[in-house]
Amino acid sequence: MKKLTTALALFAMCFVSCKKEIKTETITEKDSDTVKTEQAEAEPVLDSAAQMKAWQAYATPGNPHKLMADEVGTWNCDMTFWSEANGKPEKAASVAVIRMILGGRYQEADYKGTMMGQPFEGKSTLAYNNASQEYTTTFIDNMGTGMMVAMGKYDEKTKSMELKGEMVNPLNGKKTPYREVYTIVDPTTRKMEMFDTKNGTEYKSMEIIMKKK
């Protein structure tokens, strides 16, 4: 009986030892896979000259910035609004003064006019990110306390830019998607259309026809 107990004890020790070795090997394999994955996902290391070249390309205005610079000047804006699909349109008017800032890298526009019988002021910025190759637009005004931010790309064939973003509905505090389509009609005419979503359905909520003075 003593011999049997001793044999069982040795077997148990051997089993535990083997199990630890298997567990150790498994962890080692996982760690090895993790290292390989991290190495595969690691970004290539650039030398200082290549880094400088990349930053210069990122910071240098290009053709998209020239497109924005073509709009520098004063524009009369004929504005139409709809509160719902097929709703009654409401009209407003404003004047936009557009300029390029920070060495021609960004476009800034100031809007002043009258909306719903009240003085209206707004400010927009437009940027083209050389790295991501997309446009970003922001808009703030004195009719609220939020900022609208949308991003998108320019289509040379249609001469239009489609930008998508989210805005907070002040009636319920929830975020809802919106879409802008900005079209270069001709050298002195621009059209901006905004589409909101209500009850899961998109509808045209605003149109601005801009005429350069």
**Residue 76: which of 212, 194, 184 has the closest Cα?**
212
Task: State residue 164's pLDDT score.
Answer: 98
Report the C-alpha gap between 125 and 131 in whole angstroms: 18
CA–CA distances in Å: residue 29 to residues 18, 33, 34, 38: 17, 6, 9, 14
Greater model confidence, 27 or 125: 125
Task: State residue 108's pLDDT score.
Answer: 98
Residue 16 confidence (pLDDT) above 50: no
Residue 22 confidence (pLDDT) above 70: no
Task: State residue 51's pLDDT score.
Answer: 92
Q: Exposed, middle or buried: residue 190 (CB in 10 Å: 0-12, 13-18, 19+)?
A: buried
Task: State residue 145's pLDDT score.
Answer: 96
Task: State residue 11's pLDDT score.
Answer: 40
Task: State residue 13's pLDDT score.
Answer: 42
Q: Are strands 201-212 and 160-168 parallel, antiparallel or unpaired?
A: unpaired
Write down the pTM of the prediction: 0.77
**Residue pLDDT, tens place only, 42-55:** 677 878 899 999 99
**Residue pLDDT, tens place only, 91-121:** 999 999 999 999 999 999 999 999 888 999 9
**Residue pLDDT, tens place only, 141-169:** 999 999 999 999 999 999 999 999 999 98
Report the C-alpha gap between 47 and 44 in whole angstroms: 10
Task: State residue 86's pLDDT score.
Answer: 87
Greater model confidence, 53 or 35: 53
